[in-house]
Amino acid sequence: MKSNSEIKKEAVQVLELEAKALLNLASRINDDFVELIQLILNLKGRVILTGIGKSAIIAQKIVATLNSTGTPSIFMHAADAIHGDLGIIQQDDLIIAISKSGNTPEIKVLIPFLKQTNNKLVAIVGNMNSYLAEQADYILDTTVDREACPNNLAPTTSTTAQLAMGDALAVCLQTAREFTDRDFAKYHPGGALGKQLYLKVGDVANLKSQPSVHTDDSIKQLIITITKHRLGATAVINDGQIVGIITDGDIRRMLEKHDDISRLKAIDIMSKKPKEIEAEELAANALHKMRENNISQLLVTKQGSYAGIIHIQDLLKEGII
């Protein structure tokens, strides 16, 4: 059995081998890649990816990435294609076939049928002399020197190269489409990721509760206000404008400093220039601002007017954190 140090050493060797293979891909980004990007950008149909074995799994991941970044895509298993799934292909679609050898029996059987449809065929292939490479209209070379597998057999480095080439395609298409985080949110409405991209401060904060005191209000009045609204803070208002904030922490610090609080007013203990955020901003931005300033609440405004308070607990409840 290998020692801990030997296991670590082998893991590092695998990562270094695969990293080197990815760096080598950079020199293979050629005119075919650029022309393919332009072709897909102007495509009326969809991008259909196909493959067999581990390459099929990589194809499915690339399809998922393309779909989530604005390029409509479909996966078609190479083995199933010749048993009816060729009907997936429509006139304006583009086909990307992924294969390390480019000579697997399923791919060699499939390609003549793909050529009959007159759709453009792209090869993501690790053998530039293969049948797939010879038949393709565009070639993305993912040749690797060897697999990370010690027997140089199990697809490891080669599938990493395929995946990275697919990511390069997806990202270039995404930036060319000027695909923004708002667009991304449309395709990821579920889970914490989706919420970070579409939930706004106004959706999370309880804007029906707007605790506020005047600068001249007594300590008793502000404590009553904070207790009533249960947000751990209150805005301080003067002439209709926000001039400060008082939190539970401010009250504790006041009690530490003063034995007699009977003559103190809100203005005496408030924090001036409080941090604010517009209700239309993303809730994720509120979290960033809280973390940046090491605070738990932000005053929420609507078009410059006080609208309420958002607390870090509101973000926790929604899964933003």
* Residue 93 neighbours by CB under 8 Å, 6+ apart: 43, 45, 46, 47, 48, 119
Q: What is the DSSP string of 161-173?
A: HHHHHHHHHHHHH
List binding-site positions for Zn(2+): 77
Tokens 């897909």 — which residue? Answer: 40
- Pair 123, 139: CB distance under 8 Å: yes
Tell me which DSSP letter residue 265 carries. B
B/e letters for 32-54, b = 16+ CB within 10 Å, e = fewer, are bbeebbeebeeeeebbbbbbbbb
Find, among 245, 232, 309, 248, the residue nearest to 277 by Cα: 309
List binding-site positions: 77
